[in-house]
Amino acid sequence: MIADHLPALQVVVPLLAAPLMMLVRRGTFAWLVAVAVSWTTLAIAFALAVKVREVGVISYAMGNWPPPWGIEYRVDALNSFVLVLVSLVASVVAPYARTSVAAELPRDQHYLVFTMFSLCLAGLLGITITGDAFNLFVFLEISSLSTYVLIALGRNRRALLAAYQYLVLGTIGATFYIIGVGLLYLMTGTLNLADMAQRLRDVHEMRPVLAALAFITAGVGLKLALFPLHFWLPNAYAYAPSAITSFLAASATKVSVYVLLRYYFLIFGVPLVFGRLPMAEVLIGLSVLAVVSASLVAVFQRDLKRMFAYSSVAQIGYITMGMGLANKAGMTGAVVHLFNHGITKGAIFLLLGGVALRVGSTSLERVAGLAKTMPLTSFGIVLGGMSLIGVPGTAGFISKWYLVLGAIEHGYWGLAVLLVVSSLIAVAYVWRFVEVAYFREPEPGAARLAEAPGSMLIPAWIMVAACVYFGLDTSLPLDGARAAAALLLGGAP
């Protein structure tokens, strides 16, 4: 009985938890609910993923209104993978958040953080699971609005301006998306994504469809920080509370990438996007610029959070590059990198939260000699950094391997070389941390610093361990990514 309603519960559980926390107004209670909710969503996501493997596609008619009239929740190989990623990140970040939030924010705001966290989780899961274009917009706004609040809660006053700028750009992005959906609705008369894909075949060549593609690309591109639309990201990540940064870095942009994947491959279709329009060249070109320029900018940052935020822009470039390649290896690389980058960046930002707690800052000058005072944290950041570089034995290697394969399969030898060279730039910025933390003497007062508390260190190290584990035993994410890539390239949903 309950098993039939899992797709709805995936979203409804966190959505209903939020007002409950709001009414009770107790920090500890809200935290307990947030942990329970995120673990529940993880269990549901796993159950759905297992079921999708058996039956292929789960279609759930919300409120028993049959699609295409009612809102359909549709789970397939691609979005069940993303659901697992998002809820996995949430269930690691939620237990961690208590200590981190308690250290960074005044007491009366604690319950608000968990309320917004829960809403944001509901929004992200909703974007992923829904099969309705307009419903997707609503969830996009739920997750975005709660994200703006979470960023604005940061303790530095610059967090306010970062949140404001993200609000303006995010709203423009969402509005662009809804303009695109409006044009598609005018052309097809449906909002159900699967139905829309069918009907678009008849009107392929018409200009409003092309305009819709442009609007959706620009709108979702803003949300996923596609170069050069990434200006909101570094400030937002740098000034948000630490726990929130790691949640957003690991999940929010990935969900937007998923939306773009779905629209390109399953709705507009490969013949239109990559055949008639030069989107492959555009995507690969922008991705190359993102990878090179954002990595270079990261090298010159003075603050670790900002450094890894710029690195996120570069890593998203790898994902969109795989998308632009649009062949089996490239797509597998893109989807698996979605997962691998999610856990890697999540791990790094969780550890940086510990640094912020003990040192009081994440600027490079202040972390001198960190390896002596916080050895576990420093070593974890180095392992995460190795995964960003793509050292064999870490998760990052697997995705880069598939991307290189995809580039070679296309005959883009230059691109394959560039992938390797860009990893060297990642070595440069990770090395800057290594040099400061391992080869410099701690500041005089720093000797008394201790390792981050276990409640923060354990979740962070679970993520670090996952980076290494999925680098050695690749079957779990790779099987999921292969199935997703096959679905994306297989044509009809």
Rounded to whole angstroms, the Cα distance separating 256 from 82 reads 11
| Burial (CB count <10 Å: 0-12, 13-18, 19+), residue 444 | exposed
Burial class (CB in 10 A: 0-12, 13-18, 19+), 281: exposed
Distance separating alpha carbons of residues 128 and 115, to the nearest angstrom: 20
CB 475, CB 395: distance < 8 Å:
no
Site string for other proteins, 321-360 (x = CB under 8 A): ----------------------------------------
Asked if residue 294 binds other proteins (CB under 8 A), the reply is: no
186 sits near other proteins (criterion: CB under 8 A): yes
Dihedral of CA atoms 476, 480, 483, 488 in degrees, nearest 10, equals: -150
Does position 134 bind other proteins by CB under 8 A?
Answer: yes
User: Applying CB under 8 A, does 178 fall inside the site for other proteins?
Assistant: yes
Q: At what angle do helices 375-389 and 395-410 cross, to 10 degrees?
A: 10
> CA 263, CA 261: separation in Å to the nearest integer?
6
Of 223 and 337, the one with the shorter C-beta distance to other proteins is 223
Contact between 185 and other proteins by CB under 8 A: the answer reads yes
Q: Is 171 in the site for other proteins (CB under 8 A)?
A: yes
Backbone angles phi, psi at 449, to 5 degrees: -60, 140
141 near other proteins (CB under 8 A): yes
Of the pair 22, 172, the CB lying nearest other proteins is at: 172
**At 73, phi and psi to the nearest 5?**
-100, 130
- The alpha carbon dihedral of 333, 339, 342, 346 has a sign of negative
Out of 55, 64, 157, 445, the residue judged to bind other proteins by CB under 8 A:
157
Q: Which of 29, 61, 182, 214 binds other proteins (CB under 8 A)?
A: 182
CB-nearer residue toward other proteins: 152 or 485: 152
Beta partners for residue 59, in sequence order: 74
Q: Is 355 helix (H, G, I), strand (E, B) or coil?
A: helix
Q: How far is the CB of 415 from other proteins (least distance, A)?
A: 34
395 binds other proteins (CB under 8 A): no
In the complex with other proteins, which residue's Cβ is closer, 135 or 378? 135
Contact map string, positions 190 to 229, toward other proteins, x by CB under 8 A: -x--------------------------------------
138 in contact with other proteins (CB under 8 A): yes
Binding span for other proteins by CB under 8 A among 27-35, 165-173, 343-351, 454-462:
165-173
Does 152 interact with other proteins (rule: CB under 8 A)?
Answer: yes
